[in-house]
Amino acid sequence: MKFGYTIVYVSSVPDTLNFYKDAFGFETRFLHESNQYGELETGATALAFATHEMGDLNLHGHYIKTDPQAAPLGVELAFVAEDVEVAYQKALAAGATDVKAPEQKPWGQVVAYVRDLDGVLVELCSAMG
Radius of gyration, CA atoms only, the chain: 15
In tens, the pLDDT along 38-48 reads 999 998 889 99
Q: How many CB atoms lie within 10 A of CB 34?
A: 11
Class of domain 5-125: alpha beta
When the pLDDT of each residue in the chain is averaged and rounded to a whole number, the result is: 95
Per-residue pLDDT band at 62 (split at 50, 70, 90): very high
Task: Tell me the domain boundaries of the chain.
Answer: 5-125
Instruction: For residues 64-71, give the mean pLDDT.
Output: 93
In tens, the pLDDT along 86-95 reads 999 999 999 9
116 by Cβ neighbours in 10 Å (0-12 / 13-18 / 19+) ranks as buried
Q: How many CB atoms lie within 10 A of CB 44?
A: 8
